Amino acid sequence: MPDEALRAGAVGDSALIARAAEGDERAIGPLYERYGGVLYAVAYRIVGQRADAEEVVVEAFAQAWREAARFEAGRGSVAGWLTTIARSRALDLVRARSRRDRITASAAADRPERSPAMGEFPLDPAGALDLDERARQVRRALESLSPPQRQVIELAYFEGLSQSEIAERLQEPLGTVKTRVRLGMQKLRESLRPFYFERGR
Amino acid sequence: MTRPDQESLRDLAAAYALGALSPEEAERFEAVLATSAEARLDVSEYREVAALLGLGGPQAPAGSALGDRVLARIREPQPRTPSRSRSPALWAALAASLIAAAGLAASLLATRGKLAAVEDALAARDATLAEARQRLASREATLEAILAPGVRLIQLTASGDPEPGIQLFWDRQRHRAIVNGYRLKPVAQGKAYQLWFITDGKPVPSVTFRPAPDGRASVGAVPLPADGAISAAAVTIEPASGSPQPTSPILLVGTLPES
């Protein structure tokens, strides 16, 4: 298959992962174009700085490449799988950071140089617009939640806290936290359904 | 499935997709996932929601060369077959470095390849370590729950060869129990073991569980019936979704001391 067809989105996500599992590295480029921005957004939100967020994205794609054969299409979308990997790596990094109690100021100085091979990966303009539109919708959906609902969801997803840990941190009953998570997520599920990443399945 | 306890387990789907369940809760929920297509749909939708959440925060542009770094990383020589054991890679890297030390031609390229292999092996170790740490945390939580004051051990026994058994750690203060089964025979597809609390002489349904291939099963934080005097706990084989009343003979039983 020509590279053009891979880039143009004619090949579905699951098919790209299947190609990656067979060792076809050309599958990673289109996946990066589609989801690199989302993974970076999740990573940045968790680690809070650019150099580390970029490293998380690189690690996440490397892991997806190594473990492509383990992806199970029946259990969710490729976007969901990739962001789950990126979130775990980002939380690992934050935990390691706090364990070492070290500010990674030096990482910021370690900026990668712009590579001349960049031309290989033109940013897909349609994809980028898509992401901006999604980001607007996600912000709108989050704003429609009550602040306590939004708070518990963000503590769980971006700080990796369990519901019991959230209850402890907020000094609220566990049942209250669980209800907020459930109702908030139900609301998001309804309002964000048209913007799910699932495609090519 | 409209039983109240099933509903509440399905309610865990959102928290599960957010990674906000305790290890014990996640384990219980995964048992539900295995048998409920509805729960699987819930989780896959909530995962989509979670995947979008990152976009709700302040956006900062990534470096323009990030795509190239991603590609460069996957092009580095590295073991990538998931089933392959990681330690051979480390051995290979060590052996390769010995050869290099012996003065055989070691080009810059080869050195970079070895470095990548060592880095990868280290990353694999890190991942294994993280998994082990998580397992340990889960074990610690279970141990703490078992060692809490007021917890009693009730042994559920049965005849058989080898003899299966279930330990029920009964936490009267927190009104819950931990189930730890061993040498349990596998159950047929669509079936599961179900725990019953004999309360005021009647069986009250509790959790269902399926043993692992090694015959072990453990369920944490099993709630006890709120009212009535519990005199015994018993286990039967039921449909995987659980029964309101036992439909098969009692396999294991143990009596609870008077509280």
How confident is the model at residue A183, as a pLDDT? 95
Of B203 and A117, more confident: B203
Q: Which residues contact A39 (CB under 8 A, 6 or more apart)?
A: A56, A57, A60, A61, A82, A83, A86, B54
Contact status of A197 with chain B (Cβ, < 8 Å)? yes
Name the residue among A57, A94, A72 with its Cα closest to residue A17: A72
CB pair distance less than 8 Å for B48 and A178: no
Chain B environment of A135 (Cβ under 8 Å): 55-56, 59
Rounded to whole angstroms, the Cα distance separating B68 from A117 reads 7
* pLDDT tens digits along B136-165: 877 777 777 777 777 888 888 887 777 888
Name the residue among B10, B21, B35, B54 with its Cα closest to residue B238: B35
The pLDDT confidence band at residue B32, using thresholds 50, 70 and 90, is confident
Q: Which of B46, B50, B63 sits opposite A54 (nearest CB)?
A: B63
In the structure encoding, which two tokens stand for residue A90, read together? 């980002």
CB pair distance less than 8 Å for B44 and A80: yes
Name the residue among B153, B142, B154 with its Cα closest to residue B235: B154
Query: Where on the phi/psi map is residue B208: left (φ > 0), alpha (ψ -120 to 50), or beta?
Result: beta
Contact status of B60 with chain A (Cβ, < 8 Å)? yes
- What percentage of chain B carries pLDDT values higher than 90? 18
ipTM of the complex: 0.81
Name the residue among B133, B139, B162, B152 with its Cα closest to residue B254: B152
pLDDT in tens, chain A (201 residues): 555 555 555 678 889 999 999 989 899 999 998 899 899 999 998 998 888 899 999 999 999 999 999 898 777 889 999 999 999 999 999 888 776 654 444 444 333 333 222 223 334 555 555 778 888 999 999 999 999 999 999 999 999 999 999 999 999 999 999 999 999 999 999 999 988 887 433
